[in-house]
């Protein structure tokens, strides 16, 4: 079983990475394989609503979406991490998630997922709310911890001193490992995936 951890910070080894690393190390100790995927430093544009993914089966715009989607297909669980930028997820992470969830829903649904944020000081719960909305829209199973899944710091050293934040990451990782093992046991016992329904689209004017 594998968890894909997405680092939505421009800093490959910054604060968000430090939080994700703590979770990944604990997942590994629980026997779960991990990979941390960095969305990169180049700005990631949002979805332009072209509908190209409906025909192609993947976002028709480039990096880092195609690589991430390939990895998502074989991942059993996800942790989406972002720094807090103006009380929200980073702009690139927002663009990345808009396009990932628009084009890659099949690779995500029925899989456990969590969000993690890093901030110097404030805006954490607003950013977490934003990130968790993707998962609860996309048929994912939201995993929590013993506190909201955030760390605090401006540098990785700060985050390493945030003992409560790091503990929250480790507990999150153990909860994620437990959910993954329960899902595996359910599958082995023959519990089927929930039955979906053909999507009904309405808008408020009809
Ligand atoms: C554009 C920008 C906006 C930021 N906005 C906030 C904010 O609203 N609240 C906050 O506490 N920190 C804010 N920060 C600081 C980062 O969230 C914080 O340093 C974070 O831990 C950095 O994580 P990283 O090293 O993974 O990028 C901001 C940083 C940047 C670059």
Q: What is the pLDDT of residues 174-206, one digit of tens each?
A: 999 999 999 999 999 999 999 999 989 888 776
Mutate to test the pocket of ligand 1, among 84, 94, 152 (most ligand atoms within 8 A of CB): 84
Q: 10 alpha carbon to ligand 1 midpoint, in Å?
A: 10
Beta bridge partners of 78: 4, 113
Ligand 1 pocket (Cβ < 6 Å) reads 9, 11, 14-16, 83-87, 118-123, 153-154
Please state whether the predicted TM-score (pTM) of the whole model is above 0.95. yes
Q: Round to whole Å and give the CA distance between 160 and 19.
A: 8
pLDDT for 62 equals 86
* Residue ranges of domains in the chain, CATH in brackets: 2-188 (3.40.50.360)
Residue nearest to atom 5 of ligand 1 (CA): 85
Ligand 1 atom nearest to CA at 17: 26
- Which helix H or strand E contains 37, and what residues bound it? strand 33-38
pLDDT digits (tens, 9 = 90+) for 79-101: 999 999 999 999 999 999 999 99
Using only C-alpha atoms, the chain has a radius of gyration, in whole angstroms, of 17
pLDDT for 206 equals 65
pLDDT for 203 equals 86
SS3 81: strand
Q: Round to whole Å and give the CA distance between 108 and 118.
A: 23
Residue in this structure with the two tokens 């993707």, named with its chain if needed: 134
Give the list of residues 6+ apart from residue 66 with CB closer than 8 angstroms, or none: 58, 59
pLDDT for 205 equals 76
Pairing of strands 88-89, 77-85: antiparallel
Residue in this structure with the two tokens 């998502």, named with its chain if needed: 72
Q: 90 alpha carbon to ligand 1 midpoint, in Å?
A: 8
**Intervals of the chain under pLDDT 70:** 206
Q: 71 alpha carbon to ligand 1 midpoint, in Å?
A: 27
Q: Round to whole Å and give the CA distance between 135 and 157.
A: 30
């Amino acid at each position: 079983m594998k968890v894909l951890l997405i680092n939505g910070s421009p800093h490959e080894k910054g604060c968000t990475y430090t939080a994700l690393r703590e979770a990944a190390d604990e997942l590994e100790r629980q026997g779960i394989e991990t990979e941390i995927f960095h969305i990169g430093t180049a700005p990631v544009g949002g979805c332009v609503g072209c509908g190209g993914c409906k025909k192609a089966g993947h976002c028709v715009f480039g990096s880092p979406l195609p690589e991430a989607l390939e990895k998502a297909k074989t991942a059993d669980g996800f942790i989406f991490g972002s720094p807090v930028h103006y009380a929200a997820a980073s702009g690139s992470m927002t663009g990345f998630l808009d396009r990932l969830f628009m084009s890659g829903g099949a690779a995500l649904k029925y899989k456990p997922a969590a969000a993690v944020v890093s901030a110097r000081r404030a805006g954490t719960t607003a950013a977490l709310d934003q990130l968790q909305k993707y998962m609860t829209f996309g048929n994912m199973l939201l995993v929590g911890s013993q506190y909201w899944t955030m760390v605090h710091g401006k540098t990785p050293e700060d985050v390493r001193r945030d003992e409560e934040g790091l503990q929250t990451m480790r507990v999150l990782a153990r909860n994620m490992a437990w959910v993954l093992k329960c899902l595996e046991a359910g599958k082995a016992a023959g519990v089927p995936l929930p039955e979906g329904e053909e999507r009904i689209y309405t808008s408020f004017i009809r």
